[in-house]
Chains A and B, each alone.
Chain A
Amino acid sequence: MSQLNDGLLQLRYRWSFKKFLAELLEKRWMDGIIPFGIMVCVILVFGSQVENYFSPDVLAMTAREFAEPGFVALAMAVTLISGGIDLSVGGMFAIINFLSLMLTHIYGWPALAVVPAALAVGALMGALNGFLIGFLKTRAFLTTLVTMIAFRAIVKLLNLEFAPKIALSAKTTFYESTVWDYMGDGSFLGIPSNVVILLVVAFIGHVLLTRSRPGWRVYAVGGGRRSARHVGIKVERTIFFVYVISGILTALGAVFYAARLDSAASETGMGLEILALMAVVLGGVSILGGKGTPGRALMGIVIVMVITNALLRLGIDSALNSLIQGLILLFAIGIDVKWLKHLYASIEKIYVVPTYLSLPKALDPRPGSGTVFEFNDRLKDAETIGLDQIDGPEDVILDRQGRLYGSVRQGWIVRFSGDDFSKRDIFANIGGRPLGMAFDRDENLVVCVGGMGLYGVRPDGEVYKMTDETNRTWTRLKDDSRIRLADDCDIAPDGKVYFSEATIRYKMEEWPVDGQECRPNGRLICYDPATDRTKTIVRNLIFPNGVCLAHDGRSILIGLTWKCDVLRYWLEGPKKGRIETVISGLPIYIDNINRASDGNYWLASVGLRTPVYDLAMRMPSFRLRMVKFVPPDEWLYPNVNWGCVIKFNEQGDVLESYWDPLGNYAHVTSMREHMGYLYLGGLHNNRIGRIKIQGADPEWTGPDSYWGKK
């Protein structure tokens, strides 16, 4: 009955809407969901109110009008993302418009020459802004306000001088150019030419901004100028080019405008900067910088233009039109600001979703219990290596020369050599948080690096990446292709590296939160150096940690930390690809597993099950509230202050246990046998320990056991 109950409870907590929601909200594209929603609403509402709104002809005509402010909105978006603003876009727009008409009508330039010339002038004007703001470090707002006035003045002067001539020439000589006409009212597959170009430009801009190095620099500068400078980004240059691009985009819009309307009116581009700014902010590009995309800028301009256009066509008075427009924008911006403000806080609130886990009653480890886990003092006299010279050797390993390696918190592999391990050097600096290690056939050290993936270190200390990506689970909303927390690895005779990823939902420093959640968030991944391919082979494991190739090389053992189980995954033989449980319900939380010289296995324990923690595991909602309401430093934890090492055989019988009554090895996360000694490492320990093992083979070493004697 109770087992049935357990099963039902497990089922109930297995799938969680909250988890789905949290992972959905976490998606980057959810940032733009509100502008997108508004856009759809606006189109549907006004589309249904205005007759023939969706007929192809009308749509094409409306779209053609959208495109030109669209370019300006893109320009505005780029400057906003970089943390600035460009108010001079309207002035530039007017100048370029005028210039294009001059060149075509007075000087008779061919259209193919006019366009580059216009873009070049746009770039030049942008460069002026960029130079002032980027290199002379003037305020973007004031600078572009001043240049806006200046550009406007230039337009006026030009207008006085040339407008009559343009008008005259338009009357006398007809400017003939298919390119110019095509730009003005041509279509491509029924889509207006300027819209096509706008979409192409926006797409390229989107890809460049969000997926290329220069683009990321723009976001970095906008998000935090000082931090950007600290990481080595050339802030001045980046800002300069942002304004140049802004000029070019504006010029592009203006050329299309000139080609379409042929109008040299002096009020061209009036209020365009405000329109673009409204559209862009409405689309969710933050006015504070560092946030937004070209795609969202376009959404914004579509919303603004649909409203303006529809109200106009509904015959609403233009003053009222502006008022309605303003109110809608205000409302939308309000919602968007609130959404962005609360989105991350909400994700944080609902992200942790604990599940039900009922662990079987474990053997009693207390002194006097008489079990195989009975507390003893066998680690009491452990020799100390590298006391206070090493910060948290999660894993330890020895090479053929008897040198001792530890993976430490600073992102290093520390090596101890010499007869008494007194010589310490930093063998490699990988970064991240190096965890489990293994030697391959060529004596390269394969290291799981938390936060980075799977890396290798050649005998000369050169670091190389093996893999940091695996195949994505397409049925899962959360993108799990990046390897976040590779934990321990081992290498099969064919050279394939099998490694565990403890959890895909949390980062290295958040691993205890995964313990509170206790969901099957981990997986077993295989990397094949021969083909350089990575593949997830087992999913949905509860914090898989230790990985060890069986002595016969036909299967691998996997230790599940929170589940306190050891599993076996068959690599070959009749059960190939199958999983079976070797040990279940240990009284300790499992960390690494390694081979012993007598054909058995060592298993390190990162902590001890306590009755209150076991109870909490059966009460997910209690844990959820604890995570919410109790400060993290006061969360209930597994007892990680009393470590131990146990030995078990191929059948999964636990043979003996080693405890440390002094607490020097507060928790043991790894151990290696080497020439009759057992070496001990711990995630937060300040030393490596070693004890002599009674009756161990004094010749046995790990590399020999895996790759034969050399």
Chain B
Amino acid sequence: MLLAKTLTSSTFKQALIAIATFGMIVSALFGYVYLSTSSYVRGRSDRDIMMEHASLQGAYERSGRDGLITEIRERIADGNFANNVYLLADPSSAALAGNLREWPPDITAANGWIEFRTSQALPGAANRPLVRAMLQTFPNGDRLLVGRDISDLDSFADQITMAMISVAALLFVLAGVASILVTRRTVGRIESINATSRAIMQTGLDQRIPLRGTHDEWDRVAENLNLMLDRIETLMGEVRQVSDNVAHDLRTPLTRMRGRLEKAYHGQRIGEDDQTLIGDTIADLDAVLRIFSSLTRIAQIETQARKGAFRTVNLVEIAGEVVELYDAAAEQVGTRLTVVGDHEVLVTGDRDLIFDAIANLVDNAIKHGRAGGQVVVANENIDGKAVISIADDGPGIPACEYEQVFKRFYRLEHSRYTPGNGLGLSLVAAVAHLHGARIEMLDNSPGLKLKLWFSAPVR
């Protein structure tokens, strides 16, 4: 998981680009070193051959063919010249002197540099040694070959190449490993920041990003983010304090108001009209109070304080109780309300809140579904998730409104005049969020199907 994130991270990609650039520079450098080293070594060997050739040519010019033959034989007998190859041949290519037995068959040139492999074993040389040699044809048709076994040079070049390739490979491996380690560390820090952010979004503002005490730039980022979270938490606390105070300060006068109205309602009255008037005012006041308490209730759920009271509850049981409660309401509009699905779908949560959420959804389904239609509540265990869905066969809602309906006081155009205050789905959303559940809206064609995906409790 972390490795996958490491390999896809931008830091790692940049490291790869750096390694590639570095690799090209190193290859160019090594290539240059190789070329100059090998040409230097060859140059030296060529110079030796040329000197040897010049000295033999001198011998020929001084004392003719015989002198040269003598000179060559001396050289062959001398151990200091063991690496050298000599051959003097007459115009018919018969060997006159030298340590090569025969004139190399493919050579036709008369003068200049040649390279050939000989099948003849030379002292201290490899099998089929490579020979570089200089040719000269004398005026009488004799031909002189002075050369050197350069197999050694070749294997020297091979060794240099080998060394350079190994060093380059090692460098690449080290650079690769180093960049993975560095990236992994970076990704690890970013991941811990990400994990905390996700936890905060899910459970509330009480978590902080851990510091490593290294006082590096990551610790500073974490410190600043933590300070920001502190500040947000303080502000949220103040806002909550204010709304708590507002709630308290409003409720006292409202209680008095309701008390007076009630007294008036039950006391001496001027007429029957007044009683109706007062009764209606009480009813309106109660409606206002219900909206008020729904709002504070949603706000309170959003503070996540209730997570402490979570227990394992069976969705099927709660759904059954909701359906039982709403059975009479469904019957009133001729709607068939049924529960289907698995017998046990467990979630960790707050029974009252889940009941309230399901009740709101069933209430909506009955109210906004088709009179005389069907409302189906289904409980299922799907891939380790606990799922409850509530489906009706009414007009449904357009897909573009799916997000909107969870906003407070949002009401669809065609339901503006049905009873309700536009807070039901906000409460459902708050409850779902508290439980870490995902809400999915589907077209039931016809109607709306709303699914709540809870993660099943850890056993």
Are A and B part of the same complex?
no
Q: What residues of chain A have their CB less than 8 Å away from a CB belonging to chain B?
A: none
Q: What residues of chain B have their CB less than 8 Å away from a CB belonging to chain A?
A: none
